Structure formats: structure tokens, C-alpha cells
């Protein structure tokens, strides 16, 4: 079951990244082994995501080598199974992490009563949410998340409010038979409380479905403490 959830987590993440790009009018391309984007993705989003593991690593590295010849500037690769060696192509590892998942039956994260959760539904709310998620600074480039994403019933931008003030949030996306959770942030609040509330909201909005994602460092430790299971390693490579 874990390997099935891992494959679903990888696919969900690739579909989510493609959806973010598609909302800007520039979707990427899927093959049997990877997703790639030739024009450049929004900030913090990879240009290549591998969909299969070590048995297709050679094919994936060849595709990346071809892409290098047509791309300039910095870009990144999400090595979903930590199976590639991209150092010979001028890449460095930005970070390593773990895919995580939890079955619906195992979700027992309590929501703090002081937090009021709201689904973001308007362009004004999304602009406010993005500013909070990015640390409060106005975006220096175009917003990462286009308003078009709000029309998709399988995507939920959520904010947690306390005494009327936004204090955290995250994104849920239902694709590939699972619910991906990402972009978790907390403002003067416990990260665990925000993630726990997000998990509870996922169970309400998309009942009965597993929740997946990926984390690294302290965020990974806190997610595992909440009951998530580690599904497998990944790496993010960047080329400057």
C-alpha cells in the first residue's frame, strides 16, 4: 500500500505543479517517465519532475540533458525517487526530503478551537493569502497562484484565523486518488496546530481520501509526529 501511495503522491504533485502553470496559460508536458516545462515555471516550482524511479533514471537524465541545451538561467528538477545523478550536468542538491502520507482512517489530528478555518474564494482573499504565505511582502513578480485556481473544486486554498486575524494556512488538491497538502505556513502560531487543522479540513472537504505531500527538516519531523508516514526519499536539484 505504501508504494501505491508513494506513486500517487508523486503523480499528485506533478499534476498540481502543472495546474499552477496551466492557470497562467503555460502548461507543461507529461511523458511516461517525467513532467517538464520548457518555458520556465513560477518561483519555487521545478521545471522537471520525475514520475518513475531508478529503472528509468538513464532515460530521464537524457531528457534533462536535451532540455539543458534549450534553456538559460537557473532552474530545478524534483528527483521524486532520489534516483538521479545530475552533478555532471551542473546541478547541485538544494535539499533532500521525504514523501509523507496518512490514510483517512488514521487521521485524528484535533483542530484547536480558537482557530476558525475559511476557504479562500475571491481574488482579493487570494492576494491577501499569498502575501501572508510569502511573509507579508508584496510580490516582486507576478503572483504564483492565479485566480483561475479558485474555480477548481478539487483545489482548496485555506486560511486559519484567530480573533479575526490570519495566522496560517495551506493548500489542498485532490488528484490521482489522494489529497496533496502543501504551502503550509504559520504566523505567530504553532506549525503543528496549523498542519493539524489543515488535515482535519481535508477530511471534511475531501472525506475518506488519503493525504500526501513532502517535507524536509523540522517540518518533516513535525508531520511525522502528527501521524504521517514516510513514503520514500526525494531530492531537489538546482542549476544556476
Give the dihedral sign, CA 134/194/45/28: negative
Is 237 among the domain residues? no
Backbone angles phi, psi at 121, to 5 degrees: -130, -10
* Stretch 150-166: mean pLDDT: 96
Give the dihedral sign, CA 30/32/38/42: positive
Residue where a domain terminates, one of 70, 98, 126: 98
Structural domain that includes position 127: 116-230
Is 239 among the domain residues? no
Same domain, 73 and 145: no
pLDDT range class, residue 1, cuts 50, 70, 90? very low
Same domain, 90 and 154: no
Is 75 among the domain residues? yes
Number of neighbours of residue 186 by Cβ within 10 angstroms: 16
| CATH code where residue 179 lies | 3.40.630.30
pLDDT at 204 over 60: yes
Residue where a domain terminates, one of 42, 65, 98: 98
Same domain, 81 and 40: yes
Question: For 214-225, how does the pLDDT look when each residue is reduced to its tens digit (9 = 90+)?
Answer: 999 999 999 999
Same domain, 144 and 69: no
Question: For 173-201, how does the pLDDT look when each residue is reduced to its tens digit (9 = 90+)?
Answer: 999 999 999 999 999 877 889 999 999 99
- pTM value surpassing 0.85: yes
Same domain, 136 and 180: yes
Structural domain total, the chain: 2
> Which secondary structure element, helix H or strand E, spans residue 34, and what is its range?
strand 34-36
Tell me the C-alpha distance between 19 and 149, whole Å. 8
Is 224 among the domain residues? yes
* Stretch 227-232: mean pLDDT: 96
**In terms of DSSP H, where are the helices of the chain?**
2-22, 57-68, 123-133, 191-205, 217-225
Same domain, 131 and 173: yes
Q: Which of 228, 219, 220, 226 is nearest to 179 (CA)?
A: 228
Question: For 19-41, how does the pLDDT look when each residue is reduced to its tens digit (9 = 90+)?
Answer: 999 999 999 999 999 999 999 99
Q: Which of 112, 159, 154, 155 is nearest to 131 (CA)?
A: 159
Is 111 among the domain residues? no
Amino acid at each position: 500500500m505504501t508504494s501505491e501511495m508513494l506513486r500517487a503522491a508523486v503523480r499528485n504533485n506533478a499534476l498540481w505543479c502543472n495546474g499552477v502553470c496551466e492557470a497562467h496559460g503555460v502548461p507543461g508536458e507529461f511523458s511516461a517517465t517525467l513532467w517538464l516545462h520548457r518555458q520556465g515555471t513560477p518561483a519555487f516550482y521545478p521545471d522537471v519532475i520525475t514520475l518513475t524511479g531508478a529503472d528509468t533514471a538513464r532515460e530521464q537524465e537524457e531528457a534533462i540533458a536535451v532540455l539543458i541545451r534549450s534553456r538559460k538561467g537557473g532552474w530545478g528538477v524534483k528527483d521524486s525517487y532520489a534516483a538521479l545523478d545530475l552533478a555532471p550536468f551542473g546541478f547541485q542538491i538544494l535539499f533532500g526530503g521525504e514523501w509523507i502520507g496518512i490514510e483517512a482512517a488514521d487521521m485524528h489530528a484535533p483542530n484547536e478551537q480558537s482557530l476558525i478555518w475559511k476557504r479562500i474564494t475571491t481574488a482579493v482573499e487570494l492576494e491577501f493569502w499569498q502575501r501572508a504565505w510569502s511573509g507579508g511582502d508584496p510580490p516582486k513578480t507576478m503572483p504564483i497562484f492565479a485566480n483561475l485556481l479558485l474555480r477548481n473544486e478539487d483545489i482548496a486554498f485555506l486560511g486559519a484565523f484567530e480573533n479575526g486575524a490570519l495566522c496560517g494556512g495551506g493548500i489542498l488538491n485532490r488528484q490521482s486518488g489522494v489529497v496533496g497538502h502543501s504551502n503550509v505556513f504559520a504566523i505567530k502560531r504553532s506549525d503543528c496546530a496549523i498542519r493539524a487543522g489543515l488535515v482535519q479540513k481535508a477530511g471534511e472537504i475531501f472525506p475518506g481520501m488519503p493525504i500526501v505531500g513532502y517535507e524536509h527538516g523540522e517540518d518533516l519531523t513535525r508531520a511525522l509526529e502528527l501521524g504521517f508516514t514516510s513514503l520514500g526519499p526525494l531530492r531537489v536539484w538546482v542549476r544556476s
